[in-house]
Amino acid sequence: MKKNNLKNLRKEKILLAMSGGIDSSFSVHLLRQQGYEVIGVYLNNLKSDASKNNWLNVKKIADYLQVPLHRLKSSGNFSKRVIKPFVEDYARGLTPNPCILCNRVFKFKELMDLADKLKIKKVATGHYALLKKQGNYVYLSPANDEKKDQVYFLYQLPQAYLKRLIFPLGKFAKIEVKELAKDVLPPGLLPVGESQEICFVPADDLNTFLKQSIKKRKGGEIIEAGSNNVLGKYDNHQFFTIGQRKGLGLGGGPWYVSKIDANKNRVYVVNESDKQVLEPKELRFTKILWAGAVPKLPVKIKYKLRSAQKWANGVLKKDKKHFVLSLQKGQLPPSPGQSAVFLAGGKIIGGQVVGS
């Protein structure tokens, strides 16, 4: 057989991010079905006993599946690019989404850099998302499992990354993955449970984490918007987000957070009877992070202001200075720091951080 023919028979390599969870573990099986030679990588982002134990679990799974496995120790970069900005944003009264930031500035960059070093073109993760090629662009598209769909967290990925990515779980429901994975991994290795909300926040206790991270933060006043009457006080371990109702410690409610003034340590609230003032009719942005081709405006879209929110109908247009998103009635108010993500024609066309 000629040398060229032998070369053509070689399987294409793909770099897969392996976390030790059921999604990335089952992705090994799916990628092999598609004809890829899977190379695994574990992103060791944190210096902790839990992270060490997780690495050992990932290694056991990789060994069982006979997947060559790399370990990237990147705790310094992760802390600098993700944890530090997250804490700083909260200190300024914002409500950031660390997963969106991580995907944009850290996780996928680390994966692409390693793939380049290993001379591997394709990269895969266990995210629930689909990709849609249109013209010269590749777009994110919502996964078939609406509850697990993760395109909201991925919307800031650039074309250079999207064109190299594969999401093998996009057409599967989570319940299917759990069942099918039983044929791939033995009970002793089969991961149980879901990953925590924010990977670097111990026990998902955000208030304690922020209190320990923001040392010089002071408590302040809770003020009724409109009358400016002081209704109560909060201490330095309480953190708030726009629209929050629980945990305010106020009588005569329910009360909702309407504004956060981090500079003056004041939180403004409105009563149930005035809750309609929280429902904005539109959002304004100085710029949009377009995923590919810029659409002709105005354009009817669907949007999300939170990851768990269902897609709502809206119109995106432009005036002299801003891009303007008209909002559906009855929407909870977005908090500065959260993201608005736009869907049109079955694909993610762009988005932006609220307040940008």
Give the pLDDT confidence of 94-109 residue by residue, as tens digits. 999 999 999 999 999 9
Helical spans, DSSP H, in 10-48: 22-33
**pLDDT at position 298:** 97
Share of the chain above pLDDT 70, in %: 96
Q: Is the pLDDT assigned to residue 9 strictly greater than 70?
A: no
The mean pLDDT value for 59-82 works out to 94
- The CB density around residue 29, as the number of other CB atoms within 10 Å, is 16
Q: Is the pLDDT assigned to residue 3 strictly greater than 70?
A: no
CA–CA dist 165, 121 (Å, integer) = 9
Long-range contacts of 79-88 (CB under 8 A, 24+ apart): 81/105, 81/106, 82/45, 82/106, 82/200, 83/200, 87/210, 87/213, 87/214
Q: Is the pLDDT assigned to residue 141 strictly greater than 50?
A: yes
Structural fold of domain 218-274: SH3 type barrels. (2.30.30)
The mean pLDDT value for 116-136 works out to 98
Active-site choice (67, 94, 102, 177): 102
Per residue in 228-238, pLDDT tens? 999 999 987 68
Per residue in 242-300, pLDDT tens? 889 888 989 888 999 999 998 899 999 999 888 877 888 899 999 999 999 999 999 99
Map out the domains of the chain as residue ranges: 11-199, 218-274, 279-353
Least confident of 155-169, 276-290, 299-313: 276-290
**pLDDT at position 6:** 43
Structural fold of domain 279-353: Elongation Factor Tu (Ef-tu); domain 3 (2.40.30)
CA–CA dist 212, 202 (Å, integer) = 12
102 is catalytic: yes
99 is catalytic: no
Band the pLDDT of 176: cuts 50, 70, 90.
Answer: very high
CA–CA dist 73, 62 (Å, integer) = 17
Contact 169, 23 (CB under 8 A): yes
Q: Is the pLDDT assigned to residue 5 strictly greater than 50?
A: no
Strand order of the β-sheet with 122-124 is 69-73, 37-44, 13-17, 122-124, 165-166
Domain 11-199, CATH:
3.40.50.620
Q: Is the pLDDT assigned to residue 68 strictly greater than 70?
A: yes
Q: What is the pTM of this model?
A: 0.91
Band the pLDDT of 193: cuts 50, 70, 90.
Answer: low
Least confident of 47-56, 190-199, 209-218: 190-199
Largest CA distance in the chain: 86
Residue 133 in tokens? 């090629």
Contact 333, 280 (CB under 8 A): yes
The torsion angles phi and psi of 88, rounded to 5 degrees, stand at -60, -40
Band the pLDDT of 35: cuts 50, 70, 90.
Answer: very high
CA–CA dist 156, 104 (Å, integer) = 6
Active-site choice (82, 124, 143, 199): 199
CA–CA dist 26, 182 (Å, integer) = 9
